[in-house]
Amino acid sequence: MVRPQRILVVCQNARPPEARASCAPTGGEAFLAAVRCELKKHGLKGPLRAVGSSCLGVCEGGPHCVVFPDAVWYSGFTAEDAREIVEEHLLGGRPVERLRAPGPDQEPHVRVLPDGLQFPAKPGATLLDSALDHGVPLPFGCQSAKCGVCRVEVSGGAAGEAIGLHPPSTLEAAVLEGFGCPSGVRLACQARVRGPVTVRPSAGDAHEPSAAD
């Protein structure tokens, strides 16, 4: 039996929606399946392995995984990142820096899909201000919760939102309701960062919601 050169361990813990955060429902399950498909495509199921695990002990800002023996942690990834982690790290031995989990003393990071741009954000700062401070282009208009141009979808839906962002203010909640936005959609000009979060600019034309009138 071949001893694996590298093992990717992906948390598959799934708690009830009303409990604290867990990795499987925020993308860990889909990511593991995608990694296994990539390994099979390359014929590497022997020397490289991807396995699921119970809780890895880190729950906020997930999903989480770790590569052994390199002891490199990743967080906030999606199934779309499977190919890059397999080819760059598991095959090439080069950790994917943009996906590495921040250390315990680092500021939380915001990641913007589909390009995967990542930047640190001061806790309590808005998504939009943090993005503009680092030259990351997020769509925006009025910056006063009226136009809706800055809507973003939070990766992991309501669970991901609870981890990375403070609850919406009364104003933001009313505007989102007026737009008919589902859970997990926020206004970048209003949403304030409290932990690692991955967002994607929301498609569709903005309009004036009745709640803002």
Radius of gyration of the chain (CA): 18
What's the per-residue H, E or C state across 56-86?
A: CCCCCCCCEEEEECCCEEEECCCHHHHHHHH
Q: Where are the domains of the chain?
A: 6-99, 109-212
6-99: CATH architecture: 3-Layer(aba) Sandwich (3.40)
Query: Do 121 and 107 meet the contact criterion of CB atoms below 8 Å apart?
Result: yes
What does DSSP say about strands 48-53 and 64-68: parallel, antiparallel, or unpaired? Answer: unpaired
Predicted TM-score (pTM) of this structure: 0.57
Residue pair 189/143 in contact (Cβ under 8 Å)? The answer is yes
- Provide the residue type at 13 as one letter: N
What pLDDT does 106 receive? 64
**Mean pLDDT, each 10-residue run in order, the chain (213 residues):** 87 83 87 95 83 88 89 87 94 88 72 87 86 92 90 78 78 91 91 86 60 42
- Cis bond leading into 69, ω under 30°? yes
pLDDT at 169: 85
63: preceding bond cis by omega (within 30 degrees): yes
CATH architecture of 109-212: Roll (3.10)
Domains 6-99 and 109-212 in one fold: no
The amino acid at 56: L
Q: Which run of H or E residues covers position 10?
A: strand 6-11
For strands 48-53 and 72-75, give the pairing.
unpaired
